[in-house]
Amino acid sequence: MGYIKAESFLIVDRHPVHRSGKVAEWLAAHSKEIELFFLPAYSPELNPDELLNNAAKAGVSSKVRTKDQGELQAALRSYLRSTQRRPERVKSFFKGKHVRYAQAV
């Protein structure tokens, strides 16, 4: 397969940090190990991270009424840790119609 340039592939959205000079410099130095692929602009439905973000917003806001930023951060951290301990829940973010491309084979 001559067209594969790297050992690993990372699919990212077009957030400015992913397109920064430091990231480009690091990627150039590690081009045999990793290759970046950008999602199309304005396509959150293609990004499994967005599915997690939506679940976290719903999960945190429906369970706890926070009084300040510290409580909100603690509630979010708790939700994410709980999700992290549930592999089937994490896998579910990759089963949607538009994000199946990102499933591990």
**Residue 48 exposed, middle or buried by CB count within 10 Å (0-12, 13-18, 19+):** buried
Report the distance separating Cα 74 and Cα 95, nearest Å: 28
Q: Which domain holds residue 59?
A: 46-100
Whether 55 and 92 share a structural domain: yes
Whether 24 and 58 share a structural domain: no
pLDDT tens profile 25-80: 999 999 889 988 899 988 989 999 899 999 999 988 877 788 899 999 999 999 99
Report field, pTM of the whole predicted structure over 0.75: no
- Number of structural domains the chain divides into: 2
Phi and psi angles of residue 7, each rounded to the nearest 5 degrees, phi first? -80, -30
3-class DSSP assignment, residue 38: strand
Phi and psi angles of residue 8, each rounded to the nearest 5 degrees, phi first? -130, 150
In a domain, 1, yes or no: no
